[in-house]
Structure 1
């Protein structure tokens, strides 16, 4: 028991947060970090108590609409943003956590947590979460390609092999031979078309050979033929000076935005605009579909990964990404990259 008590004391005293425990307004005990802050900033603990007391009164004021809210009235912790050393060259932003320890005896603690550290931890957590979603997207893409290879390519090749075996049968007639030859040729042509489709999805060769605008026109033509939706590519911007990474991101975002419009928006017309300006180049994908609630799809909900992935790809190359959408008025996806 004594050893456990010592562990608790050590944890309290060595914490990276400044912790102070009060009874009424008198400081009873504080840890090492709290002592350092008091000495360095000449900080009076009672000043913190006054701030906490003011925030508590404001939180539970009778003028507050939620005064009778059960959850609020049972809350034992309140977080209060506070900035120390305001008159110094480098002010210190903190969150002060007011925590009730014993309500009857009016014993409470004030814990100062560095806001910068918390923000960095939040950013790391957000980045880890994003990485998980992106990895899942890659795995889903690999799974889709694997299924296409198995269900389409492999089956097509297998059928052609069976046909070739039958052609090799010396007992078949010339008419049967000719018919089997046509069937095998048709099967191989279908398989070749499917392989080309998959290659375009993975990496369009026209993007490397003829540039972004040509690749976008090929993409638009293919998706228009498959969907029946009118898809136009507008613009004559010179994209030859753009890096391969930026051109790839432009292409992938156009591909994702068009697919989203075809799958979810019931669009009748989609326009792709590529425009050069003095210091930047923009891509806009505009559809006249149903539109959607953008804020609801900007969080990690498992269904908006395509949008989040687009945003991260653009940010990684110092670009700007924006989505505007209105119910029943369509959606505009805009990407902008600076150019020299």
Structure 2
């Protein structure tokens, strides 16, 4: 079969069109993968930026919590120890007076012994607050049980507790943050709530640990409560951020307070 010049031109045209289509399809595929990859990279960058932002927030929360604790410890040291040591120093200087009578010396010695005993007790209390011995030696649940016992010994509050938790789920540092949260909540109840009962639960189920705290006190408007530094709600939220946990605080005047902290575990 012979092809005429016209037929050859048509065949070449068809081939060129086919090649052009293939080239266009190739370019389209390349552009598709390019923009898809670009979108994936953009999504990954956004995710990485969110993670960095979250880490920065957690770091900032940690620094704020640490700074608040430093201020509290410094205030305790000043109020409970420094002022009393000044009294000891003053009385000791009086003892060096050559004109002091034996009776006055005995009185000053008794005062020094009494103030020194108070300073020692304050030192033990501050050391206990820095790192509760029960938490260090036995773990989170024994430390919380000890805290509950101490509250009940005051005689003004009835405490109910439920602990369904195995030691080791939280690291020591995480356990300390959980203990501090409960400790802050108890202090708030004792100082402000005028409550009669407290309930505390720490429950680990599957991959979730939940801390629940509730009192039947006078409660408060949540927005107002967050503005009151004495309540320490920001510190509780900061510790929750450090734990990478969620925290829900519910309260209203006359309805007590409830706090639920939830953390996902591996």
Given the two structures, how large is their TM-score scaled by the length of structure 2?
0.65
Which of these residues, 11, 32, 40, is aligned with residue 41 of structure 1? Answer: 32
Which of these residues, 312, 321, 330, is aligned with residue 241 of structure 2? Answer: 312
RMSD: 4.1
Shift of 1:187: 0.8
The residue that corresponds to 1:235 in the other structure is 162
Confirm or deny that 1:165 pairs with 2:93.
yes
Q: Deviations over 1:264-305 (max 9, x none)?
A: 6554432223446577654322122315548x96xxxxx853
Which of these residues, 235, 238, 256, is aligned with residue 330 of structure 1? Answer: 256
Q: Deviations over 1:294-320 (max 9, x none)?
A: 8x96xxxxx8532332222332xxxx5
**Gapped regions of structure 1 (runs ≥ 5):** 1-35, 44-83, 94-112, 298-302
Larger radius of gyration: 2
Higher helix share: 2
Which of these residues, 105, 109, 113, is aligned with residue 185 of structure 1? Answer: 113
Higher strand share: 1
The residue that corresponds to 2:181 in the other structure is 253
Shift of 1:247: 3.0
Cα distance 1:140–1:236, how it changes in 2: closer, same or farther (>3 A)? closer
Cα distance 1:210–1:176, how it changes in 2: closer, same or farther (>3 A)? farther
With 260-269 and 161-170 compared, the bigger mean Cα shift is at 260-269
Distance, in Å, in 2 between the alignment partners of 1:177 and 1:193 is 24
Shift of 1:248: 2.1
**Gapped regions of structure 2 (runs ≥ 5):** 1-26, 227-231
Given the two structures, how large is their TM-score scaled by the length of structure 1?
0.53
Shift of 1:188: 1.0
Q: Which one has more relative contact order, counting CA pairs under 8 Å at least 6 apart?
A: 2
Cα distance 1:132–1:230, how it changes in 2: closer, same or farther (>3 A)? same
Q: Is the 8 A contact 2:62 2:242 kept in 1?
A: no
Cα distance 1:132–1:237, how it changes in 2: closer, same or farther (>3 A)? closer
With 130-139 and 261-270 compared, the bigger mean Cα shift is at 261-270
Q: Is the 8 A contact 2:151 2:159 kept in 1?
A: no
Q: Number of paired residues?
A: 231
